[in-house]
């Protein structure tokens, strides 16, 4: 008992919130060690931003801060949703912020200097159906239709390095399409192909 009291005296002053946060983080690391690490890969970052170039429309967004002071910036999300829309139907759909966070984490991990080139963001059900008829590589129930997937590449960064970064983050699905020159990322369950 006396040892316990001495140990407690040596601990730094912690407030209740810090103790609860440590307990939650510890639980996450025990249950899902890799996923927990990935979720906090942007911890300590004051703001999250993305630069994009839509390869089909030519539209560009430069360093759009979509998260700051602990909150997503709605105006910025709307701009990102617009550039990531279905360019075939012009239909805009909300993109899952976790997918944007995955992009931001990849960008930080590979120290990207240029914007992501977007091959495909949101896809309407009719676009996805048409693409599925053309290619076996397009899933019938694609995460693209939910705004949870993006096909991309990063100029100046080898495609294999983008894929490796996405895999190491373990924040969702990662597909590697070397012949088509893009990596698919999504905020679904962790898997790869």
Which of 102, 120, 115, 123 is closest to 166 using CA atoms?
A: 102
- For residue 186 the two structure tokens come to 């999504």
Same domain, 28 and 123: no
pLDDT for 139: 81
Same domain, 17 and 76: no
Domain that holds residue 135: 43-192
Same domain, 30 and 49: no
Domains contained in the chain, number:
2
Question: Cβ(66)–Cβ(73) under 8 Å?
Answer: yes
Q: For the chain, how long is the longest CA-to-CA vector?
A: 74
Tell me phi and psi for residue 68, to 5 degrees. Answer: -155, 150
Does pTM top 0.85 for this prediction? Answer: no
Strands 191-192 and 116-120: unpaired
Alpha-carbon span 104 to 41, nearest angstrom:
10
Distance between the two ends of the chain, CA-based, in angstroms? 55
pLDDT per residue as tens digits for the range 112-163: 999 999 999 999 999 999 988 887 778 878 999 999 999 999 999 999 999 9
Same domain, 52 and 15: no
Same domain, 80 and 28: no
The CATH number that applies at residue 126 is 3.30.1380.10
- For residue 75 the two structure tokens come to 């105006």
- For the chain, residues with pLDDT lower than 50 are 2-12, 19-40
Same domain, 80 and 115: yes
Alpha-carbon span 106 to 162, nearest angstrom:
7
**Residue 115: partners with Cβ closer than 8 Å, 6 or more residues away:** 50, 51, 52, 53, 60, 61, 62, 155
Alpha-carbon span 170 to 33, nearest angstrom:
10
């Amino acid at each position: 008992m006396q040892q316990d009291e001495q140990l407690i005296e040596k601990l730094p002053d912690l407030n209740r919130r810090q103790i609860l946060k440590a307990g939650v983080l510890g639980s996450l690391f025990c249950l899902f060690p890799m996923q927990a690490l990935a979720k906090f890969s942007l911890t300590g970052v004051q703001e999250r931003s993305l630069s994009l170039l839509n390869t089909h429309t030519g539209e560009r967004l430069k360093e759009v801060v979509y998260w700051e002071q602990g909150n997503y910036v709605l105006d910025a999300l709307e701009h990102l949703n617009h550039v990531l829309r279905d360019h075939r139907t012009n239909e805009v759909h909300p993109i899952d912020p976790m997918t944007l966070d995955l992009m931001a984490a990849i960008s930080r991990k590979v120290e990207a200097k240029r914007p992501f080139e977007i091959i495909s963001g949101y896809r309407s059900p009719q676009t996805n159906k048409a693409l599925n008829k053309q290619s076996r590589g397009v899933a019938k129930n694609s995460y693209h239709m939910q705004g949870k997937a993006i096909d991309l590449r990063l100029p100046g960064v080898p495609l294999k390095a983008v894929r490796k970064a996405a895999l190491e983050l373990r924040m969702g699905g990662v597909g590697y399409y070397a012949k088509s020159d893009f990596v698919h990322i999504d905020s679904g369950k962790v898997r790869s192909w």
